[in-house]
Amino acid sequence: MISRYTPPNMGKIWTQEARFRWMLEVELLACDSLASQGRIPKSASARIRRRAQLNLARIDEREKKTKHDVVAFLGELASHIGSDAQYLHLGLTSSDVLDTATAVQLKQSATLLLSDLAGLKAVVKKLALKYRDTLCMGRTHGVHAEPTTLGLKLAFFYAELLRAEELLAHARKKVAVGKISGAVGTYAHLDPSVEKYICSKLGITPAPISTQVVPRDGYAGFLSALAIVGGMLERMAIEIRHLQKTETGELEEPFEEGQTGSSAMPHKRNPVSCERVTGLSRLLRGYAGTALENIALWHERDISHSSVERVILPDATIALDFMILEMTRILKGLRVDPKRMRQNLEMSKGLFCSESVLLALMKTGLVRPDAYKIVQRNAMAAWAKKSDFQAMLSADPEVKKRLSPVVLKACFDLKKHLRHVPFVYRRLGLK
């Protein structure tokens, strides 16, 4: 991932140095396990751990010749370790080291994502409580529907983040899987106890069965989870973008002093941060699709997945972490205009109460189609004439015959519309 979208903490997990450090730790733990079983001298295991060094530049130079990064890595280690290097990589294949090290990086990434997601959730919760009773218009198809509150919109975000946490926690468990089972996964040259020891020390789980690689459906599930969470963040971003339109003007993402909205138009305050989140979400969906392609490998393995994963695993985790942190910043600085919300609410002159009137007419014995025609006729006329909907209904003979002024007035009571908002909050645990 380019530096523009790389949060430092997530970026550290995916550096070349971090990758080789975890590969080295797998090799060292293998030596420790073999030494405890008497397969190699304990003194040799201790010397290997003491002498092992990594020189990334020299590993790169070696790889130019070997065309194999693990062989280059082992060759560089051997140059520091000396004769004890004969005990390195005993019974292991490259993917034992690579997949097990990657499992640690994926677990670390998921843990950081969950931590940053918790920070975003706390911000959303605070806003949901603050704006619980702030009236605004609910829209379907972009058209005024019925009243809601800004708090309920934010409560929906909060519920999404609860599901995101659950999804990521499950994906972390499924992807934190290593294997030390040899060339085709048969443990031909290593006892399974070595695998158990290494995975235990690294805080991951041994794959119940593997070929030369761990099953790639776990990776596909993980990337799919990242894409779903990205879609949730995108939904938040799109809501803000729509409500920031000049014609709407209810919300606005932070616009800091000195910030430029347009190189040509000095007046512009564009929702560029939300648009950035939207764009990166598209990237995550592409990576998820690519991960699905990696499930089907030839026989016990081929290498078609390798080049793909060198890109999509760091990129996807880094991109999602950036999106989480960006959305946290946006919501912390979110500008809210309750007055504009009320103006927009009143723009349709009460048309949003049409369902209440419909149901009230049905209570008098009218069948739905007949009641619907009466309400729709008045609604269309009110919209065309920009007239008050309640006043137009009051003048309609069929409505007057069936609904008293008190009942009709009650249909336009916004508190009645939103009386169950506290129930939704309680169900979500928003207190």
Catalytic residue among 141, 267, 299, 420: 141
In 3-state terms the chain splits into helix, strand, coil percentages (rounded to 5) of 70, 5, 25
First to last CA, the chain: 39
Q: Is 45 a catalytic residue?
A: no
Residue 51, number of CB atoms within 10 A of its CB: 13
CB contact at 8 A, 91 and 27 = no
Nearest CA among 120, 393, 89 for reference residue 232: 120
The SS3 of residue 140 is: strand
DSSP state of 430: -
Q: Is 262 a catalytic residue?
A: yes
**Alpha-carbon radius of gyration of the chain:** 30
Query: Tell me, what amino acid is at 207?
Result: A
Nearest CA among 403, 265, 45 for reference residue 393: 403
Tokens 């690689």 locate to: 213
Catalytic residue among 115, 193, 200, 262: 262
Question: What is the set of active-site residues?
Answer: 141, 262
